[in-house]
Chain A
Amino acid sequence: GSRQSRITSFFTKK
């Protein structure tokens, strides 16, 4: 199986 990752785990808050 695979899980959907979140964009927020790659790009951080400015």
Chain B
Amino acid sequence: MLELRLVQGSLLKKLLEAIKDLVTDANFDCSATGFSLQAMDSSHVALVSLLLRSEAFEHYRCDRNISMGLNLSNMAKVLRCSGPDDIITLKADDGGDSLTFMFESPNQDKIADFEMKLMDIDSEHLGIPDTEYQAIVRMPSAEFARICKDLSGIGDTIAISVTKEGVKFSTRGDIGSANIVCRQNTSVDKPEDATIIEMEEPVTLTFALRYINSFTKATPLSNQVTLSLSSDLPVVVEYKIAEMGYIRFYLAPKIDE
């Protein structure tokens, strides 16, 4: 028996909006730790890993570890039927072939339930090694989204370069080139407006911009984004969900030949 009650139901809605265009079908795993997902895009260039810890739920009952295969685009459609302040409860029976979504309005005057059929999905879990990154950049997530959107009008790739000067985002295309430099800035009124750069060594990596742009669909989940970079390794683009969990995107770099 699985029963998960999420008072801030909009979190689940935002998570699905963030991943539905990147991944088609995926298994949601439920265990004592929480509600999680790990999946790759169809080209195996990007990987998404998300977790909503059990503490994020008002009520969390998961009698045994369960993996539920779902089509994410359909799940996003179901979640779009919930109101912005609805409480969302997920329910599944042991050995059942469906997942029920229950939406309760905050004043309990409307209750809706949607049942989705589960799918069998072959998926391989990848082990993500612990890495000491050469550079870690924390910045406002809206600023990062804006930069990626602006650069995608010019080119198809993004070079992210961290030096003592700051973090530089560059692209190049038929019409020309663009460079945007953000410097460390901690003298802000609100901590979420800060840009913090921790650098062990300078690092430059190049990525396909359309993936990074797709990751920024997670912007509504967090005011800050963290980029972790090391030479010749996938970048990690992480949005922390308050004390409740995270969504991390890993993107394989473009490699010079």
Q: Which residues of A contact B (CB under 8 A)?
A: 1-14
Contacts and interface: CB of A to CB of B under 8 A. Distances in A.
B254 interface: yes
Given A6-B44, A7-B40, A7-B45, A1 B252 contact: no
Interface string B217-257: 00000000000000001100000000000000011111111
Given A2-B206, A7-B252, 11 more contacts: A2-B256, A4-B45, A4-B252, A6-B43, A6-B252, A8-B40, A11-B250, A12-B126, A13-B125, A13-B127, A14-B126
A6 to B, nearest CB: 5
A2 to B, nearest CB: 4
B44 A3 contact: no
Contact of A13 (B126, B208, B233): B126
21 contacts: A1-B257, A2-B157, A2-B206, A2-B254, A2-B255, A3-B255, A3-B257, A4-B208, A4-B252, A4-B254, A5-B252, A7-B44, A7-B47, A8-B44, A11-B127, A12-B127, A13-B124, A13-B125, A14-B124, A14-B126, A14-B127
Contacts of A7: 40, 44-47, 126, 234, 250-252
B39 to A, nearest CB: 11
Of the four ranges (under 10, 10 to 19, 20 to 34, 35 or more), the interface on chain B belongs to 20 to 34
